[in-house]
Structure formats: C-alpha cells, structure tokens
A and B are shown apart, each in its own frame.
Chain A
Amino acid sequence: MTKVKDGKIVDESVDIKTYTSIEHGDINKITSIVLHRTDSSNAASTLQAYADGKKSGAHFLIDKTGNIYQTADMRKICWHIGILLPRCQVEKNCNPKELKTITALIHEKGFSFGRRARNLSRHETGKKYPLRYPSNSDSIGIEVVGKFWPSKKSFDKPTPQQLESLKWLVEIIEKEYKLNIKTDVYAHGAIARKEVSEGAQILQYLFSGVVP
C-alpha cells in the first residue's frame, strides 16, 4: 500500500534520492503540480547536477525507463519555476488597474528584457494562488527526462513507461494534497518564461490519455 510519510512517497517503485542542495525552506501549503522536461537524455546527468550542488531542481525525476526518483522532500520548497508569466494577462481577465501595473513593469525603462520579466514575476508571486500561476513556494515539481530539440521546437517524445509512471505519481500527490487534476496540474512552458512546449505533451497525456 503506497503512502506518504514525512514528505516522502513510501513505495517500492519510488527510489528515494533526496538532495539537500535543491531543498530551500518549508512549503506551507501544496496547491499544484508543475510538469517539467529535463533537457537531458538520461536521469544520471540531472542527478549528477544535484549531487554537484546545483540549487535548482524539482521534487521528482522520471527516467526514460519509467523509474521514479524522489529528489526532494515534498514538505520543502524547490526552485523549479523560474520566471512566472502574468496569469491574468495570459487568460485575458486582468482588471484595468492590474493590467496597467503589468504593462508598466514589462515596459519599465532602464532595465534589460530579462530584468523586466523578473520584476513582473516578483510582482506575480505576491499574489495568492490561483490568482497567479504556481510558484516555488506552493507547488510540487516533476521532471520527466527528455531533450529539447530546437530544430523541432519540441522535446523527446515521452516513453510509455514514463507516461505510466507520471500518471501514477500525479494521482498519489493529487490524492495526498487534495488537488484537482483538471485545474491544479500545469505544464512548465505554459506558466513560465520557458520554451512553450515544455511539459505540454505530458500534460495532454494526463488529460486525454493520448500523446500528441
């Protein structure tokens, strides 16, 4: 019987390999799950980066074989989101005052493009979920191994084993933290300043059971 104990999934199909380097403080409340792709061809390089002391990473990593590694305690914050997109602007439902603030931040003179995006992201994180997209402080990150190919603008097609493991893992987390799979699971590329296709294929699979 699978259970969650002390922030870790207790099940023989989850290999617990947590790295303190990617854990940063405590999560108060888990509101969502964010699906990532590693931009690597195997889990080993990501695990090695964590072992080498990289500070950014996610709570779980799913190898091409479908093997699941838990790389951080779910009670801990992981830096896996990056620069947030303004949710109300993406979903076209900002009130006029908020839209004015967002527009002013993104056009602020004297800053680089990246700095302006960071400032806007900081403004977003000041909002409460779900008024904004998930942030590091309230979401669980799942990395699915797969390389990004700029020539195709897409990532490696996930393996059937990865998809099966992902579905199982998302259902465990969803149940444990009382999340709604239809509204609280996101593709990284849809919520942050990343390649748009990141996480899209695997999210679509979760919703429809079909890989595009």
Chain B
Amino acid sequence: MKKYIFTPLFFMVFIFIIQSCSLQKQDESMKVISIKKVVNKNIPGYEICSSFTLREIDVVKYFTLAEQVDGHEFHSEAIILPCKYQGSINVNGSFLQWEVNAGGAGYLYNNKKINKKYLCKVDCCKSFPSLC
C-alpha cells in the first residue's frame, strides 16, 4: 500500500525539481542589466501607464514566453501604446537592448543586425493578462 502512495509522490517531487532546474537555467541564459519605464505623454491615453508595471523577472519571463514573429505579422498585429519598459539585457552572452510595450509587443535588438520582434500570445497571455 505504502508503495502506491509513495510512487506518485516521488514523481511529483521529481517533476518539481526538474521544473525548478529548467527555470533556473532560463534565468541564467537571460539577465536583465537595466530597466526603465518610458511614457510618451504626446499620445492620448498615456494616463493608463500609471498602472503598467514590469519587474526584471517579468522581462525574462516575457522573452521566454512571447512569440518571435516576422515583420509582416508584427506590423499587422502589434498594438503600440504610449507606455513601455526598456533597458539592456544579456542573452546567452550577447548584450542587447529590449523593450516591452503595454500593448504586448516587444523588441530585442542591437545597433547592428539583431532586430527581433515579439508578440504576447497564448502562453505569454496566461502569465501577463494585462498585456493581451
């Protein structure tokens, strides 16, 4: 009887440890170096920005869960609101700039060729409902 109780318990603990290690690994591959909130007061509706908050841990989570999309999809789907967070980030040893807009659109880029665009979709929306 004891065996039947402990087997599922063992697997649950095992899965928890594996997941924790996996999250730990994501954190290690992406490190936010700086974060700053930017509000464009020339755009109507900027007042909503006061309730938009993003922490460093959220930035890592966003770029882990958001979907990288091509220019066409970004151009047609992205909603750009007057508030965003931006800063610099180390991704797998590369120093990049990042932006996450309150409308759910994101950028990872540098001054050279890297120009990646992201949209907050299914998995991202579950973690950040306010961005969707």
Q: Check if A39 sits within 8 Å of B48, measured CB to CB.
A: no
Residues of A within 8 A of B78 (CB): 194
By beta carbon, the residue of chain A nearest B75 is: A39
Listed by A's residue number, 28 A-B pairs whose Cβ atoms lie within 8 Å are A38-B71, A38-B72, A39-B71, A39-B72, A45-B71, A49-B70, A49-B73, A56-B77, A85-B43, A89-B45, A102-B44, A112-B131, A112-B132, A113-B83, A113-B102, A113-B130, A114-B79, A114-B132, A117-B79, A147-B115, A148-B75, A149-B115, A150-B97, A150-B109, A150-B115, A151-B109, A151-B111, A194-B78
Residues of B within 8 A of A102 (CB): 44
Q: Check if A193 sits within 8 Å of B111, measured CB to CB.
A: no
Say yes or no for A195: interface residue by CB 8 A criterion: yes
Instruction: Give the interface residue-count category, chain B.
Output: 35 or more
Q: Check if A193 sits within 8 Å of B97, measured CB to CB.
A: no
By beta carbon, the residue of chain A nearest B108 is: A150
With A112-B130, A113-B102, A113-B103 known to touch, is A90 a contact of B44 (CB < 8 Å)?
A: yes
Q: Check if A107 sits within 8 Å of B71, measured CB to CB.
A: no
Instruction: Give the shortest distance, in Å, between B69 (CB) and chain A (any CB).
Output: 10
Say yes or no for B107: interface residue by CB 8 A criterion: yes
